[in-house]
Amino acid sequence: MIRKTLLIAFAMMTLTACSKDAPEIDDYDPARDYFTFANTGQFVTEHVTLDLDVDFEKQELRGYALLTMRRLESEAGEVVLDTRDLNIASAAVLSGEQSAAAEFRFGETDELLGTPLIVTLPPEAGERFDLVLEYSTSPESTALQWLPPELTAGGKQPMVFSQSQSIHARSWVPLQDTPALRITYEAKIRTPRNLLAVMSANNDPLAARTGEYHFEMPQPIPSYLLAIAVGNFYFAPLGEDTGIYTEPELLDASVYEFADTQAMLETAESMFGPYEWGRYDLLVLPPSFPYGGMENPRLSFLTPSLLAGDRSLVAVVAHELAHSWSGNLVTNRTWRDIWLNEGMTSYLESRLMEVIYDVGRANEERVLGYRELLGNFERVPENMQALAPRMTPRDGEDSQGTIPYHKGQLFLEYLEAAFGREAFDDFLQSYFDNFGWQTVTSELFLDYLDEHLLSAEGAPLTRANVEPWLYEPGLPDDAPVPESATLIAAAATAADWADGALATADIPVDVWSAQAVIHFINSLPQELAHNKLADLDSVYGFSETRNAEIARTWFIQVAERRYASAYPQLEAHLNRYGRGRLIAPVYSALVANGEDLELAREMFERAKATYHPLVARWIAETLEESPG
Ligand SMILES: [Zn+2]
């Protein structure tokens, strides 16, 4: 998921809400997924068939899921699946010509993980069988957001969309919800006649709006990449294999903003090997989409906050596209290894940005990411700062922040610098080749790296140089430090202007990139009179900017500095966007200034009906945890 997926930072936040009753784990197994109830050592799902009605009135998906499963242990008689807030009406097993009802019961609910569904197999079930579950979702589904018409761009039709990562697929499909397994799927989806359904599957840009849609996903994916959206969507092509789905009101702006997508796809193929998924389309959702983007295969879901009008925020598209290799093709085996998805993708994103735009722009993004990483080290507990930590459901909300993204990227840049770009690119291509359609742990990555680079004669690095990245907090002493000449200049300008050495009108904001403006705002000295901020705002209109990242940066500063003259615009920002990255830190800054907790709570009360349930939960926790 996520601008540089800080957006996606919030993916980890979905592993939140500390599971207080979880037992202490003495014999921690880094290859085991602690975030699923499924007994995947005894049964594995190979294919999922969905047949669902989309009921906007009741806010539920209703129908059945058929799981084609294989029994790995002949003695095993009970299948355990992950669910969350699902109603199960019946269970049956089909095996060869035989069909039989199956007994089922729910286990104990865990606040974080949901509720295990235990199905007792009838004697008819063979080694390979279909488990058919008749079910419906509930309006509380953590994956689904049901939007009334007034929260869409068009204002006339409802919409629903899913966000399954990390552990929310289980709230709309009963299944083995773990990235360790891959499934193919097909689906029949019935919607109101005038709406279009799309999925992380073979969407047909020419599909007629019939109210009944068929999908197939022939490439095996982990469950967190199951995705669906239903709304008043229309399609516009961007290139031969790329295009955009969104509401008609956003179509022109989206086509303009993301015009470079086809070139990105072709560049990515030339750098990382063939794109294995067929088409690559984008779905631009309403403001309440919780992340910057989500790499649902064949169809990345995107926030409309990227529509800055100047293509300044399209690194998110490069990021989601890069996931077609790192994440979707080669997948982290458990959420503890998420840096293999996100750090690798952030690295590839920068490489793409270098080619599509230029090195200067890529370096600006690297510096902003590095700054954010240093900020993360200040608030993330040391044991969660390793790329490969001991992570279990006991580790509470936001356990790693954006460390897997930025530290992971820096680690790969460290390797690239040591071995040279050519050798490192060869390594990456062979890594994607070797592990394609599989899952990887940090330890597997390390062994592969060792075999192919570290143990070569005269190699500049050894395992001892590399292990601290994976297992220790902070950064090793020899970690690279990204630099950008334009950002150094922007920081110097901030100091000069604050000192009065430079007139407000002479700050070169108009020729700067959005990234330089962000760095300038972040570099303003701690002590700065409010009339200086007012001056800046009146000349450059930061409180009114339509660039969501600049707005985010500005309003964090406004809140930290208690610059109350801009609070009305700050509240407008909190109502305009629902993406967690853009608003949660603004609420946090209001709380952190020590004076505005009550005000933050009032603003949240007024805005929260427009937020995605996940984002609303993160913010509510920030506001509740605070004293006062
Ligand atoms: Zn990502």
The 10s digit of each residue's pLDDT in 376-410 is 999 999 999 999 999 888 775 568 999 999 999 99
- Each residue of 586-602: pLDDT tens digit? 999 999 999 999 999 99
Q: Which of 291, 405, 431, 577 is catalytic?
A: 405
How many angstroms separate the alpha carbon of residue 130 from the centre of ligand 1?
33
For residue 66, which of 116, 119, 108, 113 has the smallest C-alpha distance?
119
How many angstroms separate the alpha carbon of residue 202 from the centre of ligand 1?
22
Q: Which conformational region is residue 134 in: left (phi greater than 0), alpha (psi within -120 to 50 degrees), or beta?
A: beta
Average pLDDT of every residue of the chain: 94
Q: How confident is the model at residue 96 (pLDDT cuts 50, 70, 90)?
A: confident
> Looking at residues 439-465, what average pLDDT do you find?
97
Q: Assess whether pLDDT exceeds 90 at residue 79.
A: yes
Percent of the chain at pLDDT exceeding 70: 95
Q: Assess whether pLDDT exceeds 90 at residue 217.
A: yes
> Looking at residues 188-212, what average pLDDT do you find?
97
Q: How confident is the model at residue 22 (pLDDT cuts 50, 70, 90)?
A: very low
How many angstroms separate the alpha carbon of residue 49 from the centre of ligand 1?
27
What pLDDT, on a 0 to 100 scale, did the predictor assign at position 25? Answer: 59
Is pTM beyond 0.85 here?
Answer: yes
How many angstroms separate the alpha carbon of residue 4 from the centre of ligand 1?
8
CA-to-CA dists, residue 505 to 403, 527, 546, angstroms? 38, 21, 20
What pLDDT, on a 0 to 100 scale, did the predictor assign at position 569? Answer: 98
Q: In this structure, which residues have their CB less than 5 angstroms from ion ligand 1?
A: 5, 8, 342, 345
Long-range contacts of 413-416 (CB under 8 A, 24+ apart): 413/347, 413/350, 413/366, 413/480, 413/482, 414/469, 414/478, 414/479, 414/480, 415/449, 415/453, 415/461, 415/466
Q: How confident is the model at residue 17 (pLDDT cuts 50, 70, 90)?
A: very low
> Looking at residues 183-192, what average pLDDT do you find?
98
> Looking at residues 34-38, what average pLDDT do you find?
96
Contact present, 21 and 112 (Cβ < 8 Å): no
Helix (H) or strand (E) holding 205, with range, is none
Is 320 catalytic? The answer is: yes
Is 405 catalytic? The answer is: yes
- Each residue of 522-547: pLDDT tens digit? 999 999 999 999 999 999 999 999 99
- Each residue of 303-323: pLDDT tens digit? 999 999 999 999 999 999 999
- Each residue of 331-388: pLDDT tens digit? 999 999 999 999 999 999 999 999 999 999 999 999 999 999 999 999 999 999 999 9
Could you tell me which residues come within 8 angstroms of residue 376 by beta carbon, excluding any fewer than 6 positions away?
385, 400, 401, 402, 403, 406
How many angstroms separate the alpha carbon of residue 9 from the centre of ligand 1?
8
Q: Assess whether pLDDT exceeds 70 at residue 30.
A: yes
Q: Which of 60, 186, 247, 320 is catalytic?
A: 320
How many angstroms separate the alpha carbon of residue 295 from the centre of ligand 1?
7
